[in-house]
Structure 1
Amino acid sequence: MASVILPTNRWTDAAESVIKDLRDSDELLIVCDSSTAPVADEAPNQATVVIAGEPTGCSGKAHALATGMEHATDDIIVWTDDDVHREAGWIETLTSKVQTHDAATEVPVYTGSGLWQLFEPALIIAGTSGTASGRYVWGGGVAFDRTKLDETAFLRDLRRTVGDDSLLSEYVDDIWAETDHCRHLEVDGSPEAVYHRLVRFGKTSWRFEPLQTSILLGMSLAFSAGALMFPIVGVIVATVLGGLAYWKLGITRASVLLSYPSLLLVPVFLILALVAPSFEWGGRTYKWSGKFDVQVVS
């Protein structure tokens, strides 16, 4: 048995795929903002709708996940998202691994068109590969045994931050990653959407791993300087790095050919995330000034 927590305000096709894979002993908790959210009326009978209310001092998703865990009846917790389409057996795959590991995570690959293609290779090289290595969990598809962590402290911290999965990664030690089947997620490639997503991703890195992110910034600046001085070498090195990362994860996308400009933009991405005053996510605007210093602006 597992308690599956799905934060959403609307019923989606992806949510329907979650319902279809529920086992007889599983429970599905749909966590929404208010009783007026469309999903409160649209959710099927197999799901239990939980009203989280408005977040204060954390992201809406973090607040929803914390509320869902407080209502969950099983020790095995599964987090999922309303935009992730599921195939049969995904719950069993993750929960079975929790028997021998602290957590089991899927590996996300963010793909898209437009401006996003320029950043896709760098995020696969630096971000997706980190999850695939078992260093981090992904909040859109993860299972864990809450008896193996300090749940009281975890829920307290969850209601003080934006990075729900980064926080969970700190609370679990042994992470199994499903590298045989990366989860491809299509993202909006418009300039505005890319800006807000990059700022959110980058701020998560700065808030949770400031030292490592500073080192990454220094290394990326050095690489960019060298790659601009010796562009042919830069193109070869970047493309090889991208090709290896894509190959290891089983990704076949032409965006790998953009590895050179993508890696050149890493310093821009990191500096932008550091200085940007706010970002939008899920219909809300946040100011994230510290790991546990979050203001919901609107």
Structure 2
Amino acid sequence: MTERDPVSVLLPTMEWNTACEQLAAQLKPDDELLVVCDSERDPVAGHDPPEGVRILVAGEPEGCSGKANALAHGMRRARHDRFVWTDDDFERDPDWLDRLVAAGERHGPATAIPFFGGGGWWRPFEPWCGALFAVLCYLQFGGVADTAWGGGVTFTRSELTVPVPAFVAELRTVLSDDYLLTERLPEVHAVRGLVMRVAVPGTHRAVYHRLVRFGRIVGVNSGWWPWLKLSSLLLVGGFLSPLGTVVSLVVGFGVVYAWLGLGRANFLFSPAGVLLLPLLTVTAMVADTFEWGGRRYRFPESGAVEVLDG
């Protein structure tokens, strides 16, 4: 691909890292990479950026997540009509940016597909929160259809259903940038050739806070009943037919892992996830405080984000 729209790539991060290097190398002459940090104290703030890269300081978040605050600041400073949002926790092929933008030009708003994989305590949750989420995005099925993943998504100013200034103001009130962007795009094309592997830390503490955050985002925004119903049905099915459930889950998730080309054996832990899903649901309903990106947040049923410390 030799010609495409110039893009403003927004990358919230605290330090100059592999993602910065990879994205800077993929820029066309008219592109810009906006590396957005929180404060002048962040290591990346003092980095001497290459051509096409600007380092912005967003300031501390108030009433929103640090990432949403960074994206809001980047959207306000961006020069181009087309945006790309991305994260610093996965690696990209040399043509990643071109392929994502090409899909956006061809289909409208377009998103890469995340697969959240890891070891340790994440293993029993990986089939459900990693592979199942990825395959539903891949197939554009159910409640996951048209989901915009903030780790790799492109859209233009005119494709938003609200003006950019209004969208920026909304970003400064939310926990989940992905959820808001999904709400503000009429439809989102999933780029099946861009299944991105995002490494998830496997410590007990990291997994707990990730799951509570994920559960709160879904439950507070979409209601708890679908979660409770699904986890209860799976648990009851497991008790009524334990062997059949184990075999069905292992075979089913094995097919999903093979189809997505994941090359991992964590699908074997899918039966354990059935036992833990009800516990996860109840925990996320009760625990409204969690850590994310070095900050502690409270996300109550009201949906008002509280930044407790950072």
**Shorter-chain TM-score tier:** over 0.9
Residue identity matched to 1:80: T
SS in 2 for 1:100: helix
Q: Does 1:106 align with 2:112?
A: yes
Report 1:185-224 matches (<5 A).
185-210=198-223, 213-224=224-235
* From 13, 18, 21, the counterpart of 1:8: 13
Report 1:4-153 matches (<5 A).
4-46=9-51, 47-132=53-138, 133=140, 134-149=145-160, 150=162, 151-153=164-166
Q: Post-superposition shift, 1:208? A: 2.4
Number of aligned pairs? 296
* From 280, 284, 287, the counterpart of 1:269: 280
SS in 1 for 2:124: helix
TM-score normalized by structure 2? 0.90
TM-score normalized by structure 1? 0.94
Distance 2:48 2:242 in 1: 54
Change (3 A) 1:244 1:171: farther
Contact 1:179 1:249 in 2 (8 A): no
**Segment drifting more, 47-56 vs 150-159:** 150-159
Q: Deviations over 1:219-242 (max 9, x none)?
A: 221221221232101112222331
Q: Tell me, which stretches of 5 or more residues in structure 2 are unaligned?
A: 1-5
Contact 1:15 1:83 in 2 (8 A): no
Computed over aligned residues only, the root mean square deviation of the Cα atoms, in angstroms, reads 1.6
Q: Deviations over 1:238-290 (max 9, x none)?
A: 22331343233222210011111113322222221121130001110000114
Change (3 A) 1:43 1:236: farther
Residue identity matched to 1:240: V
Distance 2:251 2:245 in 1: 10
SS in 1 for 2:34: strand
Give 1:295's aligned residue: 306
| Identity fraction in percent | 39
SS in 2 for 1:83: coil
Contact 2:109 2:159 in 1 (8 A): no
Distance 1:102 1:209 in 2: 25
Contact 1:118 1:258 in 2 (8 A): yes
Q: Post-superposition shift, 1:110? A: 1.1
Q: Does 1:169 align with 2:174?
A: no
Contact 2:116 2:198 in 1 (8 A): yes
Contact 2:221 2:303 in 1 (8 A): no
Give 2:251's aligned residue: 240
Moved over 6 A (4+): none
Distance 1:290 1:129 in 2: 29
